[in-house]
Each structure stands twice: as C-alpha cells, then as structure tokens.
Amino acid sequence: MMTENVANRPDPWGPYANPDDIARLVYGRMMWRLPDMRARLLSHWLDERHPHHERFAERRTLVEDLLTSTESDVELDVRLRTQNTSLRAAAREIPPVFGSFF
C-alpha cells in the first residue's frame, strides 16, 4: 500500500503525453491477460527477427511487471519512481508488435 497520497500526484504521463506509449501499455495489458496472446507476444518479442529482442530479454522483468500490474497509472508511477524510473520511461520498454512473423 502506498503511504503517499497518490490522488494529489501530477499526471504520470506529463504535459506532453505520447499516445503511442499510453497505447502500448493499455493494449499490452489487455492482450497480456489472455494466455494465448501472452504466449504469442513472448514468442514474438523473443524471436531473433524482432529488432528489439535483445533489449526485451534484458528488460523482460520490467515489461512483465508493467503488463501484469493492476495499479492505476499514478500508483504505478509512484512505485516505479522508487526504482529510479517512471511510468513514462518504463512504458517505452514494451516492444512494438509488427512484422509478418507475429
């Protein structure tokens, strides 16, 4: 439980929110909840043809934490800041889905 009052925190996405970052988190969470889709995403992101497969492998724990979290964006941002990152920065670690091999 957060000891800090998260209701008074500023928007974790900042004044210049990137819709692509927000969409990656929102839709990533939706797809992650489905076991078949989760397996497909993992297979895609770990595939050597994916240009970010090495980066995903290095940051897999963070990405999975983001996608499994049920915290609000503000609560998640507060927790991530204790780990020297932010929601805005961490969401950019979620790899894109593209290519004919998905």
Confidence of residue 4 (pLDDT cuts 50, 70, 90): low
For 73-99, what is each residue's pLDDT tens digit?
A: 999 999 999 999 999 999 999 999 988
Token output for 63: 């990405």
Does the residue 12 lie in any domain?
Answer: no
Domain for residue 9, yes or no?
no
Distant-in-sequence, close-in-space partners of 99: CB < 8 Å, separation ≥ 6: 44, 49, 50
User: How many structural domains compose the chain?
Assistant: 1
Is the residue at 1 inside a domain?
no
Closest CA to 11 of 74, 69, 92, 57: 74
- Summarize pLDDT for 14-34 with one digit per residue, the tens: 888 999 999 999 999 999 999
| 8 located within any domain | no
Residue 102 lies in a domain: no
Q: Quick one: pLDDT band at residue 1, thresholds 50, 70, 90?
A: very low
The CB density around residue 69, as the number of other CB atoms within 10 Å, is 17
Domain that holds residue 86: 18-91
CA distance 68 to 29: 7
User: Is 11 within a domain?
Assistant: no
- Per residue in 30-75, pLDDT (tens digit) is 999 999 999 999 999 999 999 999 999 999 999 999 999 999 999 9
Contacts with 80 (C-beta within 8 Å, 6 or more apart), sequence order: 86, 87, 89, 90
User: How many Å apart are CA 37 and CA 43, to the nearest integer?
Assistant: 10
